[in-house]
């Protein structure tokens, strides 16, 4: 079982990073032949990225359901874009296959959001949680002293960026 950290923790980094949210929505559950290939393709991409020692993917968290969400933390937008456009990686063939099988027919939806985060422009807290999210992608530190509250965590992160 994953160890629960029984204190308030936060993330610390002085590097810019990218938060990439991605997922799918099963609009017509009975059309398994449309949405299952999309789900399997995401699994192949994640496995590929996790196998690569030199991947600039820092960490992934994910949840399933009718609408799925995966949070990916990347070292940079360029790294994410290089992966997405690389013909030797799993993403480009999966994107091509999606456009052939589904495109805009309404059977299964896909979505993503990309955020470039500069040092000092984020604030996170975790309490009674295992190592998780941004703290797992960067460095986890105790949320004490000036990091005790949200404003303090933002100012502590801003000072790191100087």
pLDDT at 103: 79
pTM: 0.87
The residues spanned by each domain of the chain are 9-13+118-161, 17-116
pLDDT at 141: 93
In three-state form (DSSP H/G/I as H, E/B as E, the rest C), the secondary structure along the chain is CCCCECCCEEEECCCCEEEEEEEEEECCCCCHHHHHHHHHHHHHHHHHHHHCCCCCEEEEEEECCCECEEEEEECCHHHHHHHHHCCCCCHHHHHHHHHHHCCCCCCEEEEEEEEEECCCCCCCCECCECCCHHHHHCEEEECCHHHCCHHHHHHHHHHHHC
pLDDT digits over 26-70, tens only?
A: 999 999 998 888 888 888 888 888 888 778 999 999 999 999 999
What is the fold of 17-116?
Alpha-Beta Plaits (3.30.70)
pLDDT at 158: 62
pLDDT digits over 78-124, tens only?
A: 999 998 998 888 787 878 777 777 778 888 888 999 999 998 899 99
């Amino acid at each position: 079982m994953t160890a629960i950290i029984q204190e308030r923790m936060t993330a610390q980094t002085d590097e810019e990073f990218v938060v990439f949210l991605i997922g799918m929505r099963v609009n017509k559950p009975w059309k398994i032949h449309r949405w299952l290939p999309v789900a399997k393709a995401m699994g192949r991409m994640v496995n590929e990225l996790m196998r690569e020692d030199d991947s600039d993917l820092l960490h992934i968290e994910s949840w399933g359901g009718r609408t799925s969400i995966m949070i990916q933390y990347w070292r940079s937008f360029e790294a994410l874009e290089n992966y997405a456009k690389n013909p030797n990686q799993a993403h480009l063939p999966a994107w091509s296959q999606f456009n052939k099988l589904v495109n805009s027919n309404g059977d299964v939806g896909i979505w993503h959001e990309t955020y470039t985060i500069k040092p000092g422009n984020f604030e996170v807290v975790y309490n009674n949680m295992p190592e998780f999210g941004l703290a797992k992608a960067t460095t986890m530190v105790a949320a004490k002293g000036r990091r005790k509250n949200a404003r303090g965590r933002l100012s502590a992160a801003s000072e790191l960026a100087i």
